[in-house]
Amino acid sequence: MTISCSTISAVSLALILAACAPPRDAQLVQLQGPTMGTQYTVKLIVDGEFDSRTADAAIVDLLERIENAMSTYRPDSEVSRFNRFASAEWFAVSPQVVDVVAAALEISRLTDGAFDVTVAPLIELWGFAGSTGANGLPDAERIAETQRRIGYQKLSVRTDPSAVRKTVPDVSLNLSAIAKGYAVDRVVEYLERRGIDDYLVEIGGEIKTQGTNQNGALWRIGIEKPVVAARAVQRIITPVDRGVATSGDYRNFFTVDGKRYSHTLNPGTGRPVTHTLASVTVLDETAMRADALATALLVLGPQAGFSLADKLQLPAYFVIREKQGFSERYTDAFTKYLVDQS
């Protein structure tokens, strides 16, 4: 048996593109740095003087507080301590953790469990928590045993006082498929409180835009072609006042005896998905919901995922792997965001 891993680290799944238009009398300010195991990029269009150091310090502090609450890599984070809490009693957390877990449970119910923030044991079982593929392929018995420790139905939230609870002591949380989107939304709130109307915020591929760029044109976002060995744009969109998230199976996977195993795990089967959906991009009012819904639709696949997106009138774009290249499909609600590339 041979095992090989993709050596490409997790990167942004959307590329920020410049638009051509007459320049406006405004200043482009760009702030960026590391956060949440990836990078944040904030582009602001401001008139007159702007204290970028104060703004960047505030954003760094905001993101640091989110990591201290939700990181699974920081042993003292609220989520890490909850995961070690071997009790079915209420566990006190910050209101922001309650907000994210409550939103996650809503998406779980909406997608019939395709999105589930309790899948951490499955992530570990399949080797995606650290050294990909290092655990080998788990057998059916190990998968079934692990599935008994997951299930969004085993979680509850309380707002006053803010707390979370699990009905099974060894249930654990992993908010990685929703927390970056939440962080984008919180940065956006900060910018709008500062009176900034034109911005682009991106954290690890989750994006939200508002207004126009320094050229007076709508922000353009490139959806990446889902290929491993190159970086290329599949489609260009203008997501006005929308959160954007893309989930794909082409950056984090391993192969065993020539068979590909994606990091996208189906909570219902306990196994990596095997369908042909290579990536899905979702637009929503918040980046947090777009983040979670993109993950859910990728789990559901090209047929069930598209049907749900269409039913919800959700702007969604699907790239499907074919024997010869890729095909694409998008909902009617997505059409108005497409840029003509002819």
Q: How far is CA 250 from CA 75, 121, 170, in A?
A: 29, 22, 31
What confidence tier does 14 reach under pLDDT thresholds 50, 70, 90?
A: very low
How is the beta sheet containing 220-224 ordered, strand by strand? 14-17, 220-224, 233-237
Whether 20 has a pLDDT exceeding 50, the answer reads no
Q: Is the peptide bond before 75 cis (omega within 30 degrees of 0)?
A: no
Cβ count within 10 A of residue 49: 7
- In the chain, pLDDT over 70 holds for what percent of residues? 88
> Once rounded to an integer, what is the mean pLDDT over residues 323-331?
93
CB 241 within 8 A of CB 233: no
Place of tokens 């195991």: 37
pLDDT in the model for residue 338: 95
Residue with tokens 């983040």: 291
User: 147-163, pLDDT tens digit by residue?
Assistant: 999 999 999 999 999 99
Closest CA to 298 of 325, 318, 283, 313: 318
Domains by residue range for the chain, with CATH: 9-68+196-337 (3.10.520.10), 70-166 (1.10.3980.10)
What was the pLDDT predicted at 135? Answer: 53
Summarised one tens digit per residue, pLDDT across range 195-249 is: 999 999 999 999 999 999 999 999 999 999 888 777 789 999 999 899 999 998 8
pLDDT in tens, 115-148: 999 998 998 888 876 544 445 688 899 999 999 9
Percent of the chain residues past pLDDT 90, beyond the cut: 73
pLDDT, one tens digit per residue, over 305-322 is 999 999 999 999 999 999
Which of 1-10, 57-66, 252-261, 268-277 is the most confident on average? 57-66
CA distance 35 to 317: 27
DSSP symbols for 191-236: HHHTT--SEEEEETTEEEEESB-TTSSB-EEEEEP--SS---EEEE
